Amino acid sequence: MTAKTYELRTFGCQMNVHDSERMAGLLEDAGYVRAPENADGADVVVFNTCAVRENADNRLYGNLGQLAPKKAARPGMQIAVGGCLAQKDRETIVRKAPWVDVVFGTHNVGKLPVLLERARVQEEAQVELAESLEAFPSTLPTRRESAYAAWVSVSVGCNNTCTFCIVPQLRGKEKDRRPGDILAEVEALVAEGVTEITLLGQNVNAYGQDIGDREAFGKLLRACGRIEGLERVRFTSPHPRDFTDDVIAAMAETPNVMPQLHMPLQSGSSRVLKAMRRSYRQERFLGIIEKVRDAMPHAALSTDIIVGFPGETEEDFEETLHVVRESRFAQAFTFQYSKRPGTPAAEMDGQVPKEVVQERYERLVALQEEISWEENRKQVGRTVELLVAEGEGRKDDTTHRLSGRAPDNRLVHFTRPEEPVRPGDMVTAEITYAAPHHLLAEGTVGPVRRTRAGDAWERRQAGPEDDGRGVLLGLPKVGVPEPLPAAEGCCTTH
Ligand code: SF4
Ligand code: F3S
């Protein structure tokens, strides 16, 4: 009997991307195989949804609507909806789309294969959501997207109550993993060939609340520094409120913690920050930036900013521009405020007219572009070691140019060296040109440092037998995980 195929459609932030790796692992453990990319439909289609956007539900029902005739024509096909929107909309999903077979939430990802089976046997939709986490997703089987870079959860959930954010309602209160479990996972990944990890949490540097140690995150970074073979450590996302000096010291003193920091600003106005219920103020944010710059002069900083939060005045917006000028971010993810149903901010007075938001947004983007470009131009002439990435090459001339990430996570396109090189290997290159969003290293590039990560990538290409982990051929091309908001153009983790 041929194995049933599955397709996973992921929306939202890194949390969902990582949960999808778990869902894929669970399904493969249960005997499913990933449907080839160009296949005409799969036996099981799983939506891992995000609830952040105002029209997220319309998009989901649109997608489900398109699948209805396919399902009618394909006996035995199943559709499952999980993730944040499922956690929020629950039974509504099967009421609006009765052809859906399974609805599951953010707290019971591990139930997916069982619910699919139960829906098949009982021939009726299974809606099962838990109010709190059943099993830390990291204890579930996983099917990692990259052979050389991996996400590692340190915590799930968030104890904050930012007024624009729906995430705590859907992901619950913060739950921390034990440091020993995290480090054991990192060590196991390194043993498989992974050289870069990104520690992941809704609020990574609040890590430690559950285990009664306020300095636990800094200690975790230092412990990662002692893992042999682990070359690059990143994390996302910290909250300025919890950003303590011991974390800055740990970053600066641990050689494999990369000189890069993504720290969400959201607004430069202390008045707006208060309305957002974000407990730091402009001075504190700028103070952290200054300390980070003192400790790591070459660190690349990036951020998230929301423009047009209810009640934002021109003066408030000017404060944001001021912080952007002072901070000199290498990159900023800028979002126009949009109401997120179920959040306090959606009901606030003083919603800013669309044209005003648009105009401010354009000014902010123009300023940030200018700064990004200036900061990138400072890189020209520097020699950096690049982790060769898969799937980030420029589509037009991929044969001549490859892409990689510098230690500070800048994207660099470089001339293909004469020596053979694989994703996961390291290449030394001199930066020759800067654009606002990428750098070029043209001309002679090398040497190439062949790594265990490159070996791991090659093993994957060789197919499941050689991989030893049942990984399939035909992986979608993905690069090194971006420690930045993934997809939705929302304020994702913070
Ligand atoms: Fe928590 Fe971030 Fe949402 Fe604030 S924006 S409630 S810190 S997840
Ligand atoms: Fe959930 Fe992430 Fe969206 S936590 S609501 S998928 S931004």
CA 194 to centroid of ligand 1, rounded, Å: 29
What's residue 271's pLDDT? 97
Domain limit, last residue, from 96, 128, 160: 128
- 463 within domain boundaries: no
d(CA 152, CA 218): 16
Q: Whose CA is nearest to atom 7 of ligand 2?
A: 492
What's residue 215's pLDDT? 93
Average pLDDT of span 461-485: 40
Closest CA to 329 of 278, 292, 283: 292
In this structure, the answer to whether residues 235 and 88 fall within a common structural domain is no
User: Is the CB–ligand 1 distance for residue 52 below 6 Å?
Assistant: no
Instruction: Say if residues 320 and 266 touch (Cβ distance below 8 Å).
Output: no
Average pLDDT of span 424-434: 96
The model's pLDDT over 294-314, given as tens digits with 9 standing for 90+, comes to 999 999 999 999 999 999 999
Residue 240 is part of a domain; what is its CATH number?
3.80.30.20
In this structure, the answer to whether residues 282 and 151 fall within a common structural domain is yes
In this structure, the answer to whether residues 311 and 391 fall within a common structural domain is no
Average pLDDT of span 207-231: 94
If 0-12 CB within 10 Å is exposed, 13-18 middle and 19+ buried, where does residue 61 land?
middle
Residue 266: CB atoms within 10 A of its CB come to 26
91 Cβ contact partners less than 8 Å away, ≥ 6 residues apart = 103, 127
In this structure, the answer to whether residues 373 and 387 fall within a common structural domain is no
Return the ligand number nearest the Cα of 15: 2
The model's pLDDT over 134-191, given as tens digits with 9 standing for 90+, comes to 777 777 888 888 889 999 999 999 999 999 998 888 888 899 999 999 999 999 999 9
Residue 395: pLDDT band with limits 50, 70, 90: very low
What's residue 137's pLDDT? 72
In this structure, the answer to whether residues 298 and 220 fall within a common structural domain is yes
In this structure, the answer to whether residues 303 and 373 fall within a common structural domain is yes
- 481 within domain boundaries: no
CB-side neighbour CA atoms (13 Å) of 446: 10
Residue 348: CB atoms within 10 A of its CB come to 15
The model's pLDDT over 189-215, given as tens digits with 9 standing for 90+, comes to 999 999 999 999 999 989 998 888 989
d(CA 67, CA 472): 25
What number does the ligand 2 atom closest to the CA of 13 have? Answer: 2
Q: List, as one string, the DSSP characters of 312-381.
A: --HHHHHHHHHHHHHH--SEEEEEE----TTSGGGG-S-PPPHHHHHHHHHHHHHHHHHHHHHHHHTTTT
In this structure, the answer to whether residues 203 and 280 fall within a common structural domain is yes
CA 176 to centroid of ligand 1, rounded, Å: 16
User: Is the CB–ligand 1 distance for residue 162 below 6 Å?
Assistant: yes
Q: State the Cα angle at 375 between 371 and 377, rounded to 5°.
A: 115
Residue 29 is part of a domain; what is its CATH number?
3.40.50.12160
Residue 389 is part of a domain; what is its CATH number?
2.40.50
CA 482 to centroid of ligand 2, rounded, Å: 16
What's residue 464's pLDDT? 55
What's residue 481's pLDDT? 37
In this structure, the answer to whether residues 84 and 198 fall within a common structural domain is no
- 280 within domain boundaries: yes
In this structure, the answer to whether residues 234 and 293 fall within a common structural domain is yes
408 three-class SS: coil
**What tokens does 146 get?**
């990259």
- Check pLDDT > 60 for residue 478: no
Q: What is the pTM of this model?
A: 0.89
CA 408 to centroid of ligand 2, rounded, Å: 26
Closest CA to 456 of 385, 384, 388: 388
Average pLDDT of span 232-246: 94
In this structure, the answer to whether residues 326 and 407 fall within a common structural domain is no
The mean predicted confidence, pLDDT, of the chain is: 89
Residue 374: pLDDT band with limits 50, 70, 90: very high
Q: Which residue among 158, 205, 340, 492 has the greatest number of ligand 1 atoms within 8 angstroms of its CB, and so is best to mutate?
A: 158
- Check pLDDT > 50 for residue 469: no
Q: Which residue among 170, 306, 335 has the greatest number of ligand 2 atoms within 8 angstroms of its CB, and so is best to mutate?
A: 170
In this structure, the answer to whether residues 152 and 254 fall within a common structural domain is yes
The DSSP bridge partners found for residue 91 are none
Torsion sign over Cα 80, 84, 85, 87: positive
Residue 364: pLDDT band with limits 50, 70, 90: very high
210 Cβ contact partners less than 8 Å away, ≥ 6 residues apart = 155, 174, 175, 176
Average pLDDT of span 258-277: 97
Task: Look at 116-125, 388-397, 449-458 and tell me which has the smallest mean pLDDT.
Answer: 388-397
User: Is the CB–ligand 2 distance for residue 170 below 6 Å?
Assistant: yes
Instruction: Say if residues 50 and 56 touch (Cβ distance below 8 Å).
Output: yes
User: Is the CB–ligand 2 distance for residue 52 below 6 Å?
Assistant: yes
Residue 265: pLDDT band with limits 50, 70, 90: very high
- Check pLDDT > 50 for residue 27: yes
- Check pLDDT > 70 for residue 417: yes
The DSSP bridge partners found for residue 198 are 151, 234
Average pLDDT of span 4-24: 92
If 0-12 CB within 10 Å is exposed, 13-18 middle and 19+ buried, where does residue 80 land?
buried
Tell me which residue range forms the domain holding 427.
Answer: 383-456
Task: Look at 17-21, 42-46, 267-271, 378-382 and tell me which has the smallest mean pLDDT.
Answer: 17-21
Question: Count of domains in the chain?
Answer: 3
In this structure, the answer to whether residues 294 and 364 fall within a common structural domain is yes
CA 168 to centroid of ligand 1, rounded, Å: 7
